[in-house]
Amino acid sequence: MVKADIRSPELNQTLRVAIGPASFLTLLQKEILDLVLSIRFLVLLMLCALLIPLSLYVNSQTYERWLADYNEQLKIESTLRSSRSGWSGTRPPSPLAVFANGVETSLPKGFSIQPNQIQMDKPRSYGDPIYEIFGRIDFLFVVQAVLSLIAFLFAFDSISGEKEMGTLRLCLANAVPRYKILLGKFAGGMLILVVPFLIATGIGLIVLTATGYPLFDHNLWTKVLLMVVASIVYISTFYVLGMVISSLTHQSKTTLIVLMLIWVVFVLAVPRLSIIVAGMIRPVESDAVIALRKKLLVEHIQQEKGRALKDLYFAKARQKGLAEGALTFDANDPEFVRRRNEIAKPFEARMRDELAKIDEDHQRKKQRQLHLARNIARISPASVFAYVMTDMADTGETVKVRFFDAVRRHYARMDRLVFSRMYQDLITDEGHSWGFGGTLPGEEPPEKPPRFAFRFPEISESLAHSLPDVALLVIYALLFFIVAHVAFIGYDVR
- Using CB under 8 A, which residues numbered 374 to 403 contact other proteins? 377, 383, 386-387, 390, 395-397
Q: Containing H/E element for 89?
A: strand 88-90
Q: Which is nearer to other proteins, 234 or 419 (CB)?
A: 234
Q: Examine residue 161 and tell whether it contacts other proteins (CB under 8 A).
A: yes
State the nearest-atom distance from the C-beta of 477 to other proteins, in Å.
20
Among 18, 49, 64, 136, binds other proteins (CB under 8 A): 136
DSSP H helical ranges for 176-331: 178-210, 220-248, 252-263, 270-281, 287-319
- Nearest CA to 357 out of 281, 300, 408 is that of 408
**CA angle, corner 86, sides to 80 and 92, nearest 5?**
90
Question: Is residue 306 at the binding interface for other proteins, with CB under 8 A as the rule?
Answer: no
Site residues for other proteins, 317-376, by CB under 8 A, read 323-325
Determine the size of the site formed for other proteins (CB under 8 A). 79
**Contact status: 6 vs other proteins (CB under 8 A):** no
Query: Do the Cβ atoms of 186 and 194 come closer than 8 Å?
Result: no
267 is a site residue for other proteins (CB under 8 A)? yes
Question: What DSSP character marks residue 108?
Answer: B
Closest approach of Cβ 277 to other proteins, in Å? 8
- Say which residues have a Cβ less than 8 Å from residue 89's Cβ, sequence separation at least 6: 77, 110, 111, 112, 407, 410, 451, 452, 453, 454
The nearer residue to other proteins, 292 or 482, going by C-beta atoms, is 292
Residue 144 lies near other proteins (rule: CB under 8 A): yes
Position 110 contacts other proteins (CB under 8 A)? no
Residues 243-262 that bind other proteins (CB under 8 A): 249, 251-254, 256-258, 260-261
Collapsed DSSP state (helix, strand, coil) of residue 425:
strand
Q: Are 246 and 159 in contact (CB under 8 A)?
A: yes
> What count of other Cβ atoms lies within 10 Å of the Cβ of residue 186?
21
Among 243, 244, 248, 275, which residue interacts with other proteins (rule: CB under 8 A)?
A: 275
Tell the smallest beta-carbon distance from residue 271 to other proteins (Å): 4
- Per CB under 8 A, does 129 bind other proteins? yes
Instruction: Find out whether 79 and 230 touch, Cβ atoms under 8 Å.
Output: no
Interaction between residue 456 and other proteins (CB under 8 A): no
**x/- track of binding to other proteins for residues 46-65 (CB under 8 A):** xx---x------x------x
Residues 120, 126, 132, 135: is their CA dihedral positive or negative? negative
Contact call for residue 138 and other proteins (CB under 8 A): yes
